[in-house]
Amino acid sequence: MAEFWTVKNDFQLEQFLEFVEGELEAGRERSYEIYKETRTSAQNRALYAVFTRLAAALNDAGFEIKHPFADFDIPWSKQSVK
């Protein structure tokens, strides 16, 4: 199971460091990958709002996704637009 930590302030940094120290003291070996996020939370929310609206517009216009194995159509959703 993956765990994700976002550190944006001193409190979050302290919490993450306590977690890392606790894992080390408990003898659990961990690998940590550090990366810079490419989008903000607000940008992600905006994208999902666009996906939701686009899915509704596609469904309202009568467009559907052909099921690859059966003879029926699937309505659009924000996940299928993504």
Structure tokens at 34: 């550090």
Mean pLDDT of 9-23: 95
Rounded distance between C-alpha atoms, residue 15 and residue 40, angstroms:
21
> Measuring CA to CA, which residue among 33, 38, 47, 28 is closest to residue 5?
33
**pLDDT digit string, tens, across residues 20-78:** 999 999 999 999 888 887 888 889 899 999 999 999 999 999 999 888 888 888 899 98
Higher pLDDT residue, 5 or 50? Answer: 50
Sign of CA dihedral 31, 37, 40, 44: negative
Domain chopping of the chain, boundaries: 10-81
For residue 1, pLDDT beyond 80:
no
Q: Quick one: pLDDT band at residue 17, thresholds 50, 70, 90? A: very high
